[in-house]
Structure 1
Amino acid sequence: MHLPDLIADLGLILAAAGITTLIFKKIKQPLVLGYILAGLLVGSHLDFFPSVTDTKSINIWGEIGVIFLLFSLGLEFSFKKLFKVGGSASITAIVKVLFIILAGYLVGKAMGWKDMDSLFLGGILSISSTMITIKAFEELGLKHKKFAGLVFGVLIVEDLVAILLLVLFSTLAVSQQSAGTEMLYSILKLAFFLVLWFLGGIFVVPSFLKATKKLMNDETMLVVSLALCLVMVLLADKVGFSPALGAFIMGSILAETTQAERIEHLTKSVKDLFAAVFFVSVGMLIDPAMLVKYAVPILVATVVIIFGKIIFTILGALLSGQPLKTSVQSGMSLAQIGEFSFIIASLGLTLKVTSDFLYPIAVAAAAVTTFTSPYLIKLSEPFYQYLNRILPKKWLDGIERYSSGTEGITTLSDWKVLLRSYIFNTIIHSVIIIAIIFLAYRYVQPFIMNNIANSLASIIISVVVSFILMSPFLWALSIRRIQRTAYAHLWLNKKYTRGPLIAIEFFRIALGIFFVGFLMYEFFDTWVAAVIALGLIVLGMVIFSRKLQSFYDKLERRFMLNLNARENQKPDILPWDTHLTELRVSPESEVVGKTLTELMIREKYGVNIALIERGRNNIPTPGRDERLYPNDKLLLIGADDQLAAVKALLEIDTPEIAEEDNFPNKEMTLQKVVVHAESPVYGLSIRNAGIREKAQALIVGIERGANRILNPSSDFVFDKGDVIWIVGNNKKIKEVI
């Protein structure tokens, strides 16, 4: 029996990937580089090793890898996070991306490349790697630093910008010219479907998962999650977007559900497998002869990535009001490219609008910058200190004044509050109403006409059903009162504001009439549409106003319940809501000389001491008899209010000390570990497992099903499926648990 080429090729790919990743693990380099090297070895350009024969099938597997990779990124993305990162991350990301795209385009044109090659080069160079940055932060123990919040925010915004670039580049590639109307149409189309999918997904998916929760074991949850992902992939492809966009959107919808962590855990193995195939397929496209031939463009691209991203990220962060130190650290953390760059490069190849040399150049530049990224992050603070010494004092004072000034710009006037609410209200309900109209016209009415009733009856049924579905959203769009307090202030306190307020209300009513007229126009002639529209407006919006309000309120409550379910499932104080903070014991503090037993910090405040640094000595997970001495530096874990209380107790002289000082032990992190049947601690109590002694780690919380236990007692016995929240050295914890 002949073994199919696909199976033989897959075995070869995974064997090569396994060997190279073991080597790269040993030398502590990113696994992505190992996968790319494996692809180079099994590709058709080298004869030293067996080569893949069925390249077409492997490329299909690689496309599946892109889908699951984007699904995984979506699970970490969350649209709510995008709103929470604020203006600083958005300004920083947009400034950086725009300038790097421009720089990449100009560099391409300077080297004599075509417009599309140059534009795609700019897009490839502009997006930093979320995976590589997070991995580097984990390895360096920087995830809880102040600047890390800005970096993660920038990465979130960049993920969305990358999706937008994929859509825009696809439009440009098809039209082969920068037609302004087509670009605008593509952007509006993307915005329309993003809003529609997010609203529909949040309303339906969490409710579905909640209703089927008792039926969902791990196997079923995995199958359902991947099915939801692929359904959204089909929808995205149906409306003309890339499959990767659909996977990303479904991931971001599931990120808002209470099952997000579970889904992320269950799909991780699938994602890792197909992502490995994708990155290997990326490596297979590399021709060593092409790398030699285009060594200069590779060098130029690498220089643009490293120096361009550092400069423009610092510029964007400073413009957004960040201090110089945070800006420099952020800039040097984002000087690399990764997964989205490969996807943009492969888009150009798939659409046949870029030259063959662009992909290997992108991969080579990604490999170099992935290697340099951890070192640049380490050098960020010394570089800041260097800038602090050489820059004129006038500049430094100006930056500090600008940064301090922007922090105070947080209050919103009544007009801003009202207009922001009206804009959101108009966009959201307009999208829903337009979607209902198009669904009725393109799908419902033809279906009824072909299967149920004749032409006229099908039209009447479609119009009635559509209007019934639209009514609550028309009421919310045109009549519903929004931000009553701000509206009342403007109406009563300033007589000159009544005119604009009345104009806004007229606009809302007119927009509602327009949508009803648009519905009628899709099925009838214009005059009939106008008459029926006015009649329906009077009947539906006035006579049934209270019922519409009641029904809409139910819809809104369900949506908000689903949207906030992930946050609302947790009590106020939980170990996974906590974070690590570094504080110093003041010589004047009342805690000096007392033992941890006497202070009872854990019992009184719920705060755990993970590490004490005393001079050159480190004391991980200190015992109850350990005393605190002047200038001891403590690594504490707790919620913000708990840490604030302990901070007051320790009486820190200079709040900046904790932020500036870094613990030499970078590997003390808060992490979660799931107990399985083969775990060494399975069936043992915390005391008998000896985790504190063997791993120098501290258990701060345990999650067992719906029960969550903060600071568990030493008699607690581990069971299969327990989620342990623990602070300690990652490597030692893995050896013990």
Structure 2
Amino acid sequence: MFLIGLSPDIVYHSLLATEPNPEAAPLVLAGVLVSLVFIYLASKLGGELSQLANLPPVLGELVGGVIVGVSALHLLVFPETGAVAGDSVVVTILQQIAGLSPESSSEVFASFSEVVSVLAELGVIILLFEIGLESDLRELQKVGSRAAIVAVVGVVVPFVAGTAGLMLIFGMPTIPAVFAGAALTATSIGITSKVLSELGQLKSTEGQIIVGAAVIDDVLGIIVLAVVASLAKTGEVDVTNLIYLIISATAFLLGSIFLGKFFNKSFVAIAEKLQTRGNLVIPALTFAFSMAFLANVIHLEAILGAFAAGLVLDETDKRKELDQQILPIADILVPIFFVSVGARVDLSVLNPTSAVNRQGLVIAAFLIVVAIIGKVITGWAVFGKEKVNRLAIGIGMIPRGEVGLVFAGIGAASGVLDKPLQAAIIIMVILTTFIAPPLLRFAFQGEEEADKADLATANNQ
């Protein structure tokens, strides 16, 4: 995600390390509360406007994040994007209303921004847990081999095409080209899954293939990220670390699903014995967070652990009841994630008046073409006699979202990416994230219209 995977020195400063002086400490909470007000306003206004425009609400949440973020209103900015306390409207509000001193502004800004970032991470963990609950493991297993092929094609094609194109066409050095090519491999399962759920297509064959492929894509993306990060630091691949990641990712996912068959009965028994409020949702969240923790400590994405937990609990008799209890928690936390993703996007890289940006725009155009084509063709990698919407599958793999921002962030922090290439990757992430939801809706609507036409023709005959 946009935080997990980055160097601890870059992002994960502990709250204790950045804790302000006692006089300023209460203002950290005030900063969090004001930030949440802006997040929820952006989320609801953006979502409602998107709904009116017949677009997925998640797109409105992302756009709302862009508007309140570093690109426009500066209501929600983060230190890791290069923002300082003076850039934050929240800090200004705290200075004028709550008496925040200039000396404490940087400490308070860093602290409340980190809390919001952690809440966003919790949001995406809850989102993937919810998606896991909504996914049918039996159906996911039916499309497992097809999802694996889609994922592999969706990683190999854009990586090879992007890396080779940057080296041959733009004369780029090997390591930056490999890093940019790797950024093209990611797929944002959070964004795609949310859109599929909103369209009612999550449990369709196409939806299950997309989700399954995105999960595998995420694992492959972590492996690719480990390789390119190793290249950036040492100039060579750490084979031992690579083998460890492959084995641990495979063992974790398969082991979780296998052990889940024995865990389900115990979970239901525990939930039925508890008599106080939250007797179902609290044990479920405990399990989800434990799985996310385990995934994180073995250097996998925490969201994979949460998704695996959802898949396991999907098999219990309490799934429908649990699904209803998770919804309000998701309504509170998930918008923080999507708005935060949008808020981190800096649209100033689209300014063509800057010579640096013009070079980046040319590279970005190439990366965008590779990013879209490299994923769309994955739909035609699906085999089998069953009729599937291949275009929808390919489009569902397009958005890079927060996953692409991880690559850009690590590449920028390591010094591998110069400004034009960094700008190009960010532009690619922006466009692929924003165009996928409406295109996915269009692809499924086109399938429905074609089915209606076929039905009408059959009736006439």
The two structures share one fold, judged by TM-score above 0.5: yes
1:196 aligns with 2:255: yes
Matches within 5 A, 1:274-673: 274-292=333-351, 293=357, 294-314=360-380, 316-317=381-382, 320-322=383-385, 326=387, 329-337=389-397, 341-346=401-406, 349=409, 352-353=413-414, 355=417, 356-357=422-423, 358-379=425-446, 658=455
* Gap runs ≥5 in structure 1: 385-581, 583-632, 634-655, 663-737
User: How many pairs were matched up?
Assistant: 379
Q: What amino acid does structure 2 have at the position aligned with 1:119?
A: G
- Residue 286 to residue 337, structure 1, CA distance change in 2 (3 Å): farther
- Residue of 153, 157, 161 corresponding to 2:212: 157
Q: What amino acid does structure 2 have at the position aligned with 1:56?
A: E
1:254 aligns with 2:309: no
Instruction: Provide the rounded CA distance (Å) in 2 between the counterparts of 1:659 and 1:134.
Output: 28
- Residue of 71, 95, 108 corresponding to 1:45: 71
Measured against aligned partners, the alpha-carbon deviations of 1:703-724 in whole angstroms (never above 9, x if no partner) come to xxxxxxxxxxxxxxxxxxxxxx
Instruction: Provide the rounded CA distance (Å) in 1 between the counterparts of 2:125 and 2:456.
Output: 39
Which residue is equivalent to 2:79? Answer: none
- Residue 170 to residue 90, structure 1, CA distance change in 2 (3 Å): closer
Structure number with higher helix proportion: 2
Instruction: Provide the rounded CA distance (Å) in 1 between the counterparts of 2:282 and 2:131.
Output: 19
Instruction: Provide the rounded CA distance (Å) in 2 between the counterparts of 1:78 and 1:332.
Output: 19
Structure number with higher strand proportion: 1
- Residue 260 to residue 7, structure 1, CA distance change in 2 (3 Å): same
Q: Contact (CA 8 Å) 1:309, 1:331: kept in 2 or not?
A: no
Which residue is equivalent to 2:104? Answer: none
Which residue is equivalent to 1:91? Answer: 149
- Residue of 275, 286, 295 corresponding to 1:236: 295
Which residue is equivalent to 1:124? Answer: 186
- Residue 46 to residue 201, structure 1, CA distance change in 2 (3 Å): same
CA drift at 1:67: 1.5
Which residue is equivalent to 1:62? Answer: 120
Instruction: Provide the rounded CA distance (Å) in 1 between the counterparts of 2:405 and 2:177.
Output: 15
Instruction: Provide the rounded CA distance (Å) in 2 between the counterparts of 1:259 and 1:339.
Output: 33
- Residue 47 to residue 214, structure 1, CA distance change in 2 (3 Å): closer
Q: Contact (CA 8 Å) 1:66, 1:278: kept in 2 or not?
A: yes
CA drift at 1:58: 2.1
CA drift at 1:37: 1.7
Which of 1 and 2 has greater Rg?
1
Instruction: Provide the rounded CA distance (Å) in 2 between the counterparts of 1:367 and 1:361.
Output: 10
- Residue of 227, 240, 259 corresponding to 1:172: 227
Which residue is equivalent to 1:8? Answer: 34
- Residue of 286, 306, 326 corresponding to 1:267: 326
Instruction: Provide the rounded CA distance (Å) in 2 between the counterparts of 1:165 and 1:27.
Output: 36
- Residue 72 to residue 200, structure 1, CA distance change in 2 (3 Å): same
CA drift at 1:339: 7.0
CA drift at 1:159: 3.0
Q: Contact (CA 8 Å) 2:154, 2:185: kept in 1 or not?
A: no
Measured against aligned partners, the alpha-carbon deviations of 1:468-487 in whole angstroms (never above 9, x if no partner) come to xxxxxxxxxxxxxxxxxxxx
- Residue 8 to residue 126, structure 1, CA distance change in 2 (3 Å): closer
Secondary structure at the counterpart of residue 317 of structure 2? coil
Instruction: Provide the rounded CA distance (Å) in 2 between the counterparts of 1:291 and 1:71.
Output: 35
Instruction: Provide the rounded CA distance (Å) in 2 between the counterparts of 1:372 and 1:33.
Output: 11
CA drift at 1:340: 6.4
Secondary structure at the counterpart of residue 124 of structure 1? coil
CA drift at 1:290: 1.0
Measured against aligned partners, the alpha-carbon deviations of 1:491-546 in whole angstroms (never above 9, x if no partner) come to xxxxxxxxxxxxxxxxxxxxxxxxxxxxxxxxxxxxxxxxxxxxxxxxxxxxxxxx
Instruction: Provide the rounded CA distance (Å) in 2 between the counterparts of 1:287 and 1:159.
Output: 26
Q: Contact (CA 8 Å) 1:103, 1:122: kept in 2 or not?
A: no
Q: Contact (CA 8 Å) 1:17, 1:34: kept in 2 or not?
A: yes
Q: Contact (CA 8 Å) 1:297, 1:361: kept in 2 or not?
A: no
* Gap runs ≥5 in structure 2: 1-25, 76-87, 92-108, 352-356
Residue identity over aligned pairs, in percent, reads 21
Q: Contact (CA 8 Å) 1:40, 1:283: kept in 2 or not?
A: yes
Which residue is equivalent to 2:45? Answer: 19
Q: What amino acid does structure 1 have at the position aligned with 2:237?
A: S
Instruction: Provide the rounded CA distance (Å) in 2 between the counterparts of 1:10 and 1:267.
Output: 20
CA drift at 1:201: 3.5
CA drift at 1:161: 1.0
* Worse-matched range after superposition: 44-53 or 95-104: 44-53
Instruction: Provide the rounded CA distance (Å) in 2 between the counterparts of 1:350 and 1:63.
Output: 18
Q: TM-score, length-normalised on structure 1?
A: 0.46
